[in-house]
Amino acid sequence: MTALLQAEALAVGHGRRVVARDIGFALEEGRVLALLGPNGGGKTTLLRTLLGLIAPLAGEVRLSGTPVARLARREVARLLAYVPQASPGGFAYPAREVVAMGRAARLPLLAGPGARDRAAAEAALDRLGIAHLADRPVTELSGGERQLVLIARALAQEARCLVMDEPTASLDFGNQALVLRQVRALATRDGLAVLMTTHHPDHALLVADAAMLLHGGRLEGPMAPAVLVTPDRLRAAYGVEAVVAEVPVPGGTRLVCAPVVT
Amino acid sequence: MSRADSPWRGPLAWTLAVAALLAAMAGALAVGRFPIAPGDLPSILLGARDDVAATVFWNIRAPRVAAAMLVGASLAAAGAAFQGMFRNPLASPDLLGVSAGASLGAVLGIFLGLPVVLVQGMAFAGGIAAVAAVAAIAAAVRGQGDPLLVLILAGIALGALMGAAISLLKVLADPYNQLPAITFWLLGTLSAATRGDMLAAAPAALAGLLVLLLLRWRLNLLTLGEDEARALGVETGRLRAAAVAGATLATAAVTALAGAVGWVGLVVPHMARLLGGPDLRRLIPLSMLLGAAFLLAVDTLARMAGRTELPLGVLTAVLGTPLFLWLLARARSGGGA
């Protein structure tokens, strides 16, 4: 099976400055891949390279087997959807219009969304359980709701692979769980491939099938989250002590990662 | 429920904008040195009359009304497109130097004592050349930087240079003949606009407006920022170039016709946004209607206010400043930019 998103011997950075090198991974459908790493470690640079927004300094990114450098923006957008962090501000578009913007890569230059695009937007809002927010201006939504609207926009784009930039950043405890549940369901139920960056090793343990750690210009992994997330690695990457322990949860046990603050 | 999602918002916005334009048209057509009674308008419009009123109407009043509407609609639509695409509520059509370039062209034309038609031609060419130069400079120095910021800074730098050139020409100009003409042109006026001028400016202005109208949904995507728009499949560089070209064409054409009329392109899009929301599909046509109504009202005031006609730029600033501050105060209490 061809991977939906694949990086091979990739070096990323700006101009001549290499931020990270020797990056390699493959992401298949139905899988969630978590990307961990400290701030300034190159997560955002890697994401922008994967999206074809900046050129790789070495190596190659492939979408469904085709090098991203050979694809037009419109073709990239049909294969790979980007979910940015939900930032406050911006223009007060209604949620349904924001989601309909996901259709841009499927519309002719001079056209606006038609009936089919409206239907796709409605379905995406429905899929995430936020149809009731359709007419609300996004500027008036909570952070969690705005994040779900942006995920809905990526679904309306109808790409099989999603790249999410810290989907749980700046969300409260409840909204983090809400968004993570949706991320897992998009992979399991809809068969989408999801690459998400996160600040919480625990989130990788919670929903990811595989995890990677980017720090010091190198990528560790991908490997099973339970194998990657260890106190030693977290100390090396983040400079803090952490414990990884099995805790009972309904229906069994799971690994939990927590920092030690003394 | 917030105000923004009320179902009546769209229809109400259109109704208000069309009503404002019709009211401004009725007022503008009726009043003037030679008053035309509103009751006479139907028969004049049907071509059933051949008197002085009809002559004044068709040769003087109607071309001027059409010119004012064209100027207002063009400046407001260009402003709405620029504010969205540069993600800055303070953007106006002259952001990239079109007004400064047109002004320099016109002032140079007046300074050289050229006939009116050449002054207008130089204004049009100057406006387009200025924006083309800004775009070329921005493309040359861009590198890894934010393309929007480089474009805006190049516009500011070149605008300052052109401002200096205009000042120099004003110093050198004949203070009795040329300087008053230059000053009046820089503040904008339609007092000398003939039917021929209007017909000469209209094709370029309408072509520019058509570009903005056709691209208006896609221009929404530029308001999301460079990375997001490109990730959604938009070739942002080309789309922005097309929109800048359309806005510049329209602005340069009407600036050649009316001079450098400020404030309209900044204030009117804010009024339209308050009325109809930020979606450029609605905002651009709504800005055109409101811009036409606003400039028509201002021009009527300019004709009627004093013994000599007042410059448009003075009136748009006097009316626009309090309006803008009021909009600012409203925006602070919700609704965003």
Tens digits of residue pLDDT in A168-192: 987 888 889 989 999 999 999 999 9
Give B233's contacts in chain A (Cβ within 8 Å): 73-78, 104-105, 157
Supply the CATH number for residue A164's domain. Answer: 3.40.50.300
Residue among A75, A91, A105 whose CB faces B337 most closely: A91
DSSP secondary structure of A208-230:
-SEEEEEETTEEEEEE-HHHH--
Q: In this predicted complex, what is the ipTM?
A: 0.91
Domains of chain B: 3-332 (1.10.3470.10)
Minimal-distance CA residue of chain B relative to A111: B217
The tens place of each residue's pLDDT in chain B, 337 residues long, gives: 344 445 556 788 999 999 999 999 988 988 887 888 877 878 888 877 888 888 888 888 899 999 999 999 999 999 999 999 988 888 888 889 999 999 999 999 999 999 989 999 999 999 999 999 999 998 888 765 677 888 889 999 999 999 999 999 999 999 998 999 999 889 998 988 888 889 999 999 999 999 999 999 999 999 998 899 999 999 998 999 999 999 999 999 999 999 989 899 999 999 999 888 889 999 999 999 999 999 999 999 998 877 788 889 899 999 988 988 888 787 665 444 4
Interface contact flag, B230 A137, Cβ < 8 Å: no
Minimal-distance CA residue of chain B relative to A162: B231
Interface contact flag, B234 A15, Cβ < 8 Å: no
Looking at A133-260, which runs of residues are DSSP E strands? Answer: 161-164, 193-197, 210-215, 218-223, 242-249, 252-259
Give B3's contacts in chain A (Cβ within 8 Å): none
Query: Is the bond leading into A231 cis (omega within 30 degrees of zero)?
Result: no
Yes or no: say if B331 and A89 are a contact pair by the CB < 8 Å rule.
Answer: no
Give B246's contacts in chain A (Cβ within 8 Å): none
Residues with Cβ < 8 Å from A195, sequence gap 6 or more?
A5, A27, A33, A35, A50, A161, A162, A163, A164
Residue A97: band (very low, low, confident or very high) from pLDDT cuts 50, 70, 90: very high
Give B217's contacts in chain A (Cβ within 8 Å): 111-113
Could you give the number of structural domains in chain A? 1
Question: What are A209's two structure tokens?
Answer: 């099938």
CA distances from A227 to A33, A244, A248, B210 (A): 14, 11, 19, 59
The reported pLDDT for the residue numbered B334 is 47
**Chain A residues contacting B via beta carbons under 8 Å:** 14-15, 48, 51, 53, 72-78, 80-82, 84, 89-94, 97, 101-102, 104-105, 109-113, 135-137, 139-140, 157
Interface contact flag, A104 B224, Cβ < 8 Å: no
| Domain housing A251 | 5-259
